[in-house]
Amino acid sequence: MANDIVDPFFSVSHFDGKTAVRRKVEIQTIGQNFFLLENERRHGPYTFDYMHFVSKTKDNISYGYEDIDGWRLTLSGPIPEGLKPLLPATRTYGSWIDKLGLGKASVAFIAVSAAVLVVGMTAPQWLAPIIPQSVENSLGDTLVGDFGGRFCNTPDGKAALAKLTNSLDGNPDDLQVEVVNIDMLNAVALPGGKIFLFEGLIQQAESVDEVAGVLGHEIGHVRERHVMQGLLRQLGLSLVLGGLNENVGGVLNSALSNSYGRDAEREADSHSIRVMSEANISPIGTKGFFEKLADMTNEDNDISEMTSYMSSHPLSTERAAAFQKSFDANKDYKPALSSAEWGAIKSMCKNDPDVKSGFGFDLFDE
Amino acid sequence: MTEDTKKSAFQFHGNWVDFAKIALVNLLLTIITLGFYRFWATTREREYLWSQTQFIDERFEWVGTGKELFIGFIIIAFLFLIPFSLLYFFATIINPLAAGIVYIIGLLFVFYFVGLAKYRMLRYRLSRTYWHGIRGGSDDKGFRFGLTYMIKTTLGFLPLGLANPWATCELWNERWEKLSFGPNDFQSHASYNSVFGTYLLSYIFFPFTWVYQARLRRTLIDGLRLEKLEFAFTASTFDWIGLIIVDVLIVLGTLGIGLIFIPYRHWQFYINHLEAYGEVNLDALTQSQTAKEKHGEGLLDAFDVGAI
Ligand SMILES: [Zn+2]
C-alpha cells in the first residue's frame, strides 16, 4: 500500500500544469493507480499507465501525464524498489534505438544505409528501361526540335546515311541520324533515338568506315538506353543537391554531353564492334580514328572540343586496341558505303542551301 | 568562470565532457544513417542544454522530439523542394527562359519561407520549452509575418541598405509580440536609434560591422519584456570576437571534429550573458492556452537559416 520504507534522499516534486507553483508531494500507490499527497491536499487519482517519460538528468527523472499539459512528477535520488516497475521506460537515443540497443541499431543502420546507397546509385540503370519509349521520344523532340535548322539535308546524302544506318541496325525506324552543321569532332546520342554526327567529324574522317564505327558506338548508347540513364542520373543529382543549380544551361549541357560513364562507353564500343562485324565493315578505320584522337591529345593541341570528347571516353589508345583486336584477317571486309555515297554524305552540308551553321544554338549557350 | 557577487537569474551548469558524450554518438549515428539521425541528434543536444540551464530556481525542460523535426523536414521536402526541383529540371529542358522564370518564382518562395521560418522557429522552441510545468507559444501561424518579412527586408535594403537596422528591429519586435509564455505576452521595444550610428560607421570602416552586430544583439534582447520581467544581454564586441576566435582555433585544432562543440559553446555564451530583472509570480503564471503545432522547425532546417 502506501509508501513502505522510503529513502530519506528520495524526494518527489510536482507541477500540476495549471500554475507554476511547485508542490512537495508523496506518492501513495494503490495498485496501478496513485495519489499525490501534499500537506492537507490530495491530488489524483492518477494511473501509472498514462504516465510518460519526459526528461532525465544526473539526479532527476521527470514524467508527464497523458492529456494534462505541463503536469510533471519529478523524482530525485534513488527510486524505491517498489515504485520502479510501475514507472514507464526512459528514452536516451530515441525509442527505436533504445529498444534495439545502440550496438545492434548501429549495425542495422549501416546495413540499411549501404542498401540505400546501392539502390540509389544503380537506380538510373533499372529505371531507364521502365520509362516508355514514347515519353523518351517526346522528351527528345522538346529538347532538340530541328536543332536550330542545322541539320544538313540533300536527297543523296540522306539516302546514303540511311543506308549506312540500316547496315548497322536492324530497327533503323527508331533512330534519327543527322549530320549537324557544326565544326566539331564529336557525335552525340540524345533521348528518343536521335544521333547527331557533327560536320567536323565527317570532314576529318579518312574513310566512311571511321564514321560507321562512331555511328555504331552512338547506336550502342541508344540501344543500351544510356541516354535515359544519363538524364535520370542528372535528375537524381539535381534532386539530391537541392536542385537549385545556378547554371541554367548547365544541367542540360552535362546531361547531353556524352558523359555516360566509362562502363557505358565500353558497352557502346562493343556494340559498335559487333554490328560492324555483322555488317562486314572493317574496324581498322575506327581504330585509326581513335589513334588520331590519342595523337591529338598527346600533342598540346588547342582544339578544346577534342579534350572534352576525350575526358568522358575511355582512353583512346585502349579503345583503338579493342577495335584492332576485333580485326579478322580471314574476313572479306567491304567498305561501309560506295565512294559515291560517302561523297554524298561528305558534301551534304556544303550542298544544302538552307542549312544554318556554327554554334549560337540556345542549348549549348552557357 | 568567476562567480559574480550578484547571481544572474540565468545559470548554466553544463560541462563539455557530458556534452561530448552526446555529440560524438550523435555524429556517428548521423553518419551511419546518411544524415537522417540529425533530427534526433538535435533533440538530444537540446534536451541536454535546456536541462543544464537554470532560471531562478528551476531548470528548463525541452520536450520537442526528433520525430517532430523530421516531419517538419519531410513537409518542406515534399511540398516545396522536390516539386520545385522537378519543375526546375524540366524547365531547363524546355528552354532557359522557362527555367529562369521557375527559378525566380522559387527564390520568391524561399524569401517568404525564410521569414515564416524565422517566426516558426521561435514559436516551436517556446512551445516546447517548459519551466515549472509551464510553456510558451502563440496562436499566430505567422503566414502574414512571412509577407511583412519580405516587404520590410526589401525596404531595409532599398536606400543603400541604410534602413537595414530599422527593418531588423521592426521584424524582431513583430515576431516577439506575437509570442507568449504562460498567460503573458512578450513585449518587444527594440529601437534602431541606439545602433544606427554604429551602423553608419560600419560603412566607413568595416570592423565596425562587428561592433554593430554586438550592439544590435544587446539592443534586441534589452528591449524584451515578459510581464514584470525585463531581459538584458551583456556580451560586448570583444566577448564576441573572443568567442569566434576560440571557435576557429577549436575547429582548426581538431581538424573539424570540434564543430560539434559549437552549439554548446554558443549556448553557454548566450546564457552567460543573458540577464533578467524583475519578479515572477508563480501563482499567476498559469498554463499557456496556445495551440501546439504538431511538427518542428522543418522550414528553417530545410532553408538552413542557422540558429542563434
Ligand atoms: Zn560515347
Please indicate whether, in this complex, the C-beta atoms of B103 and A62 are within 8 angstroms of each other.
no
Where does the pLDDT of residue A94 fall: very low under 50, low under 70, confident under 90, or very high at 90 and above? Answer: confident
Interface list for A 28-87 with B (CB within 8 A): 54-55, 57, 62, 64, 69-72
Mean pLDDT is lowest, of A104-118, A295-309, A310-324, B135-149, for: A295-309
Query: Could you tell me if A127 lies within 8 Å of chain B, comparing CB atoms?
Result: no
Distance, in angstroms, between A127 CA and closest chain B CA? Answer: 16
Q: Is pLDDT larger for residue A27 or for residue A263?
A: A27
| pLDDT of residue A242 exceeding 50 | no
Query: Could you tell me if A244 lies within 8 Å of chain B, comparing CB atoms?
Result: yes
**Segment A122-129 long-range contacts (CB within 8 Å, at least 24 positions apart):** A123/A232, A123/A236, A124/A228, A124/A229, A124/A230, A124/A232, A124/A233, A124/A236, A125/A229, A127/A229, A127/A232, A128/A225, A128/A228, A128/A229, A128/A232, A129/A225
Residue A233 CA to ligand 1 center (angstroms) comes to: 16
Chain A CB contacts of B302 under 8 Å are none
Where does the pLDDT of residue B166 fall: very low under 50, low under 70, confident under 90, or very high at 90 and above? Answer: very high
Identify whether residues A217 and A319 lie together within a single domain: yes
Q: Is pLDDT larger for residue A309 or for residue A10?
A: A10
Query: Could you tell me if B233 lies within 8 Å of chain A, comparing CB atoms?
Result: no
Select the residue of B58, B61, B88 nearest A243 (Cβ to Cβ). B88
Please indicate whether, in this complex, the C-beta atoms of B132 and A20 are within 8 angstroms of each other.
yes
Distance, in angstroms, between A82 CA and closest chain B CA? Answer: 26
Task: With H, G, I as helix, E, B as strand and everything else as coil, classify residue B298.
Answer: helix
Asked if residue A364 belongs to a domain, the reply is no
Mean pLDDT is lowest, of A106-110, A219-223, A231-235, B120-124, for: A231-235
pLDDT value of position B295: 62
Task: Give start and end residues of each alpha helix (H) in A169-283.
Answer: 199-204, 208-223, 226-240, 250-256, 262-278
Mean pLDDT of A135-141: 79
* Rounded Cα–Cα distance for residues A221 and A215 (Å): 10
CATH number at residue A69: 2.30.29
The string of pLDDT tens digits covering residues B250-282 is 999 998 888 889 999 999 999 999 999 988 888
Distance, in angstroms, between A21 CA and closest chain B CA? Answer: 5
| CB contact at 8 A, A140 and A194 | yes
Domain that holds residue A169: 132-351
Query: Could you tell me if B25 lies within 8 Å of chain A, comparing CB atoms?
Result: yes
| pLDDT of residue A175 exceeding 80 | yes
| pLDDT of residue B11 exceeding 90 | yes
B10-12 and B53-55: which strand pairing? antiparallel
Mean pLDDT is lowest, of A32-41, A140-149, A207-216, for: A140-149
Residue A221 CA to ligand 1 center (angstroms) comes to: 7
* Rounded Cα–Cα distance for residues B64 and A94 (Å): 12
- Write down the mean pLDDT value for chain B: 86
Chain A CB contacts of B280 under 8 Å are 20
Q: Nearest chain A Cα to B64, which residue?
A: A54
Residue A213 CA to ligand 1 center (angstroms) comes to: 11
Asked if residue A339 belongs to a domain, the reply is yes
Select the residue of B34, B100, B285 nearest A19 (Cβ to Cβ). B285
- Write down the mean pLDDT value for chain A: 80
Identify whether residues A288 and A142 lie together within a single domain: yes
Structural domain total, chain A: 3
Mean pLDDT is lowest, of A154-158, A301-305, A355-359, for: A301-305
Identify whether residues A335 and A252 lie together within a single domain: yes
The string of pLDDT tens digits covering residues A326-338 is 888 888 888 888 8
Where does the pLDDT of residue A245 fall: very low under 50, low under 70, confident under 90, or very high at 90 and above? Answer: very low
Mean pLDDT of A292-308: 53
| pLDDT of residue A179 exceeding 60 | yes
Spell out a b/e string for B193-214, using b for 16 or more CB atoms within 10 Å of the CB, else e: ebbbebbeebeeeeebebbbeb
Q: Which residue has cell 543506308?
A: A163
Cis peptide preceding A88, ω within 30 of 0: no
Q: Which residue has cell 567498305?
A: A335
**Which of B12, B38, B52, B61 is best to mutate for the A interface (most A CBs within 10 A)?**
B61
Task: With H, G, I as helix, E, B as strand and everything else as coil, classify residue A20.
Answer: coil
Asked if residue A200 belongs to a domain, the reply is yes
| CB contact at 8 A, A74 and A59 | no
**Boundary of a domain, candidates A90, A118, A143:** A90
pLDDT value of position A274: 93
Select the residue of A70, A244, A251 nearest B130 (Cβ to Cβ). A70
* Rounded Cα–Cα distance for residues A289 and A186 (Å): 11
pLDDT value of position A239: 61
The string of pLDDT tens digits covering residues B171-205 is 999 999 999 999 999 999 999 998 898 998 988 88
Query: Could you tell me if B93 lies within 8 Å of chain A, comparing CB atoms?
Result: yes
Residue percentage of chain B with pLDDT more than 90: 46
Mean pLDDT of A342-364: 74
Neighbours of A9 (CB within 10 A): 9
Residue B166 CA to ligand 1 center (angstroms) comes to: 58
Where does the pLDDT of residue B293 fall: very low under 50, low under 70, confident under 90, or very high at 90 and above? Answer: low
Residue A313 CA to ligand 1 center (angstroms) comes to: 6
Where does the pLDDT of residue B10 fall: very low under 50, low under 70, confident under 90, or very high at 90 and above? Answer: very high
Burial of A339 (0-12, 13-18, 19+ CB in 10 A): exposed
* Rounded Cα–Cα distance for residues A89 and A61 (Å): 11
Interface list for A 197-216 with B (CB within 8 A): none
Q: Is pLDDT larger for residue A231 or for residue A287?
A: A287
The string of pLDDT tens digits covering residues B14-37 is 999 999 999 999 999 988 888 888
Mean pLDDT of B141-153: 92
**Which of B24, B39, B93 is best to mutate for the A interface (most A CBs within 10 A)?**
B93
| CB contact at 8 A, A314 and A262 | yes
pLDDT value of position B52: 94
What would the 3-class secondary structure string for B11-77 be?
A: EECCCHHHHHHHHHHHHHHHHHCCCCCHHHHHHHHHHHHHHCEEECCEECEECCCHHHHHHHHHHHH
Chain B CB contacts of A18 under 8 Å are 286-287
Identify whether residues A182 and A311 lie together within a single domain: yes
**Boundary of a domain, candidates A130, A145, A179:** A130
Please indicate whether, in this complex, the C-beta atoms of B284 and A19 are within 8 angstroms of each other.
yes
Chain A CB contacts of B182 under 8 Å are 20
pLDDT value of position A266: 86
For chain B, the first-to-last Cα distance in angstroms comes to 22
Interface ipTM above 0.90: no
Identify whether residues A100 and A208 lie together within a single domain: no
Residue A152 CA to ligand 1 center (angstroms) comes to: 22
Residue percentage of chain A with pLDDT more than 90: 21
pLDDT value of position B54: 93
Identify whether residues A202 and A213 lie together within a single domain: yes
| pLDDT of residue B238 exceeding 60 | yes
Distance, in angstroms, between A94 CA and closest chain B CA? Answer: 7
Distance, in angstroms, between A129 CA and closest chain B CA? Answer: 20
Identify whether residues A280 and A298 lie together within a single domain: yes
Contacts of A343 (CB under 8 A, 6+ apart): none
For chain B, the domains span 63-181
Distance, in angstroms, between A62 CA and closest chain B CA? Answer: 9
The string of pLDDT tens digits covering residues B72-88 is 878 777 777 778 777 77
Please indicate whether, in this complex, the C-beta atoms of B44 and A93 are within 8 angstroms of each other.
yes
Asked if residue A214 belongs to a domain, the reply is yes
pLDDT value of position A30: 87
Alpha-carbon separation of residue B151 from B95, B142, B175, B189 (angstroms): 31, 14, 15, 20
Select the residue of A21, A70, A252 nearest B283 (Cβ to Cβ). A21
Strand pairing partners for A42? A37
Mean pLDDT of A103-128: 85
Q: How many CB pairs under 8 A join A and B?
A: 122
Identify whether residues A115 and A160 lie together within a single domain: no
Q: Which residue has cell 536516451?
A: A92
The string of pLDDT tens digits covering residues B108-139 is 888 888 888 888 888 888 989 999 999 998 88
| pLDDT of residue A15 exceeding 90 | yes
Select the residue of B37, B93, B133 nearest A70 (Cβ to Cβ). B133
Identify whether residues A299 and A158 lie together within a single domain: yes
Asked if residue A148 belongs to a domain, the reply is yes
| pLDDT of residue B303 exceeding 50 | no
Identify whether residues A159 and A56 lie together within a single domain: no
Residue percentage of chain A with pLDDT more than 70: 82
Please indicate whether, in this complex, the C-beta atoms of A70 and B134 are within 8 angstroms of each other.
yes
pLDDT value of position A101: 86
The string of pLDDT tens digits covering residues A248-257 is 344 444 444 4
* Rounded Cα–Cα distance for residues B103 and B112 (Å): 14
Identify whether residues A35 and A118 lie together within a single domain: no
Distance, in angstroms, between A273 CA and closest chain B CA? Answer: 33
Q: Is pLDDT larger for residue B306 or for residue B282?
A: B282
Q: Which DSSP helix (H) or strand (E) runs through A131?
A: none
Identify whether residues A201 and A315 lie together within a single domain: yes
Query: Could you tell me if B283 lies within 8 Å of chain A, comparing CB atoms?
Result: yes
**Boundary of a domain, candidates A58, A90, A122:** A90
Residue percentage of chain B with pLDDT more than 70: 91
pLDDT value of position B299: 53
Please indicate whether, in this complex, the C-beta atoms of B94 and A19 are within 8 angstroms of each other.
no
Mean pLDDT of A24-51: 88
> Could you give the angle at the alpha carbon of A17 between the alpha carbons of A15 and A19, nearest 5°?
85
Alpha-carbon separation of residue B9 from A273, B183, B275 (angstroms): 81, 21, 6
Task: With H, G, I as helix, E, B as strand and everything else as coil, classify residue B207.
Answer: coil
Residue A212 CA to ligand 1 center (angstroms) comes to: 14
